[in-house]
Amino acid sequence: MLQSVVWTYSADYQRFELLWAHVSGTYIGALYHPPRPQYSAEALLDYIEACLDELSQKDPAAPVVRAGDFNQLTDVHVEERTGLRQIVNQSTRGQNVLDQIFTVPASYNTVRVVTSVVRSDHKAVVAYPEQARQVGKMTTLKTYRKISPDQHATFTQHMAMLDFSNCDVTGSTDLQNDFDDFYNTALLLLEQHYPERTITVSSRDPCFVTPAIKAKLYVGKSGKTA
């Protein structure tokens, strides 16, 4: 089990949500930079730079990693001020790369973005110093309904031939029974013309890749019909 010890900057300023830990010879800084901070980005960068300077004097050979939710803090400004490089290239929340890792180039050769093990709308980032096996990949069988112009045409033709003349319910006294009949008929038509299909989705698929989109991508690669 890895042992960690909290390291505190000599001029610690708790307004910045930056926690440093010394883990197996590496200094790791966990940062949360809120979307609407009560401080300027320059003030935060000055603070981070001062922390790194003190770490460099304290332990010059120790690797340094900074990671966390940086929100609107740009990679370029952080890299220019710290000399560390941002290594996460996949989106971690929606289509945005909000959760980032800054470290010395080539420290981590493998970086994976996977579904978090805790409930969150952010993905988790796993970094390895060497090429490693794929981890954290989870697959799930999802259902979807294929929708196409041909299906719409068949459905409208079928509806045009239905006879609703005997469906007058104005004199009915059982509203629930009438609704159940309508619901069952509508569900039957749905299953007949737009049947459910299944496809496997992976935790590494981007959040915007729905089961229906995944099916289209699979068709595009395989040449098969969905």
207 domain-assigned: yes
**60: CATH:** 3.60.10.10
Query: 118-143: per-residue pLDDT in tens?
Result: 888 888 888 887 655 555 677 888 89
Q: pTM here?
A: 0.55
Q: Using CB atoms within 10 A of its CB, is residue 65 exposed (0-12), middle (13-18) or buried (19+)?
A: buried
- Give the strand pairing for 64-69 and 26-32: parallel
Residues 102 and 15 placed together within one structural domain of the fold? yes
- Examine residue 154 and state whether it is found in any structural domain, yes or no: yes
Number of domains, the chain: 2
3-7: long-range contacts, CB 8 A cutoff, minimum separation 24 = 7/55
Digit-coded pLDDT (tens) for 95-116? 888 889 999 867 788 888 888 8
Say yes or no: 109 and 165 in one domain: no
Residue 133 included in any domain? no
pLDDT band at 220 (very low <50, low <70, confident <90, very high): low
